[in-house]
Amino acid sequence: MKFLDEYRDARVARTLAKEVAACTTRDWVLMEICGGQTHTIMRYGLDEILPKQIELVHGPGCPVCVTPLETIDKALALALRPEVILVSYGDMLRVPGSNSDLFRAKAQGADVRVAYSPTEAVKIARANPDRKVVFLAIGFETTAPANAMAAWLAKREGLKNLSLLVSHVLVPPAIRALLATPENRVQGFIAPGHVCTVVGYSEYESLVQDFHIPMVVGGFEPVDLLEAVLMLVKQLERGEARVENQYVRSVTYKGNERAQEVVREVFVVADQKWRGIGMIPNSGLRLSDAYADHDANKIFDLQLISAEEPAECISAQVLQGLKKPTDCPAFAMRCTPENPLGAPMVSSEGACAAYYHYRRHAAQGAVKIAV
* Interaction site with another protein (CB under 8 A): 1-4, 6, 9, 11-12, 14-16, 18-19, 34-36, 61-64, 89, 91, 116-120, 138-140, 142-143, 145-146, 149, 192, 194-195, 197-198, 220, 223, 227, 248-251, 256, 258-259, 262, 347-349
Task: Determine contact, residues 94/305, Cβ cutoff 8 Å.
Answer: no
Q: Taking a C-beta distance cutoff of 8 angstroms, is the pair 197, 224 a contact?
A: no
Question: Looking at beta carbons only, is 65 or 207 nearer to another protein?
Answer: 65
Closer by beta carbon to another protein, 101 or else 330: 101
For residues 84 and 132, the answer to whether their CB atoms sit within 8 Å is yes
**What residues contact residue 75 under an 8 Å CB cut-off, 6+ apart?**
86, 88, 92, 97, 102, 134, 136, 165
- Look at residue 17 and give its three-state secondary structure: helix
Q: Tell the smallest beta-carbon distance from residue 367 to another protein (Å).
A: 16
Q: Which is nearer to another protein, 112 or 262 (CB)?
A: 262
219/312 Cα distance (integer angstroms): 33
Residue 167 C-beta: closest distance to another protein, Å: 12
CB closer to another protein out of 220 and 274: 220
Please name every residue paired with 191 in a beta bridge, in sequence order, or none if there are none.
217
Closest CA to 220 of 253, 194, 189: 194
Q: Are 93 and 103 in contact (CB under 8 A)?
A: yes
Least distance to another protein from the beta carbon of 350, Å?
10
Cα-only R_g, the chain = 21
Least Å from the CB of residue 346 to another protein: 12
The least distance separating another protein from the CB of residue 116, rounded to whole angstroms, comes to: 6
Of 116 and 365, CB closest to another protein: 116
Name the nearest CA neighbour of 274 among 174, 148, 124. Answer: 174
Residue 312 beta carbon to another protein: minimum distance, rounded to whole angstroms: 25
Contacts 24+ apart (CB under 8 A), 247-250: 247/193, 247/196, 247/197, 247/217, 247/218, 247/219, 249/3, 249/219, 250/193, 250/194, 250/197, 250/219
Q: How far is the CB of 37 from another protein (least distance, A)?
A: 9
Relative to beta strand 112-115, strand 188-192 is unpaired
Task: Please tell me the number of Cα atoms within 13 Å of 336 on its side-chain side.
Answer: 6
What is the nearest approach in angstroms of another protein to the Cβ of residue 79?
20
The residue (of 220 and 330) whose beta carbon lies closer to another protein is 220
Measured from the CB atom, is 15 or 282 closer to another protein? 15
Which DSSP string do the residues of 92-114 spell out, in sequence order?
Answer: GGG---SS--HHHHHHTT--EEE
HSE, side-chain direction, 13 A CA sphere, residue 239: 0
Shortest distance in whole angstroms from residue 91 CB to another protein: 6
Using the minimum distance from each CB to another protein, give the nearer residue, 36 or 172: 36
Q: Compare residues 43 and 212 and give the one whose CB is closer to another protein.
A: 43
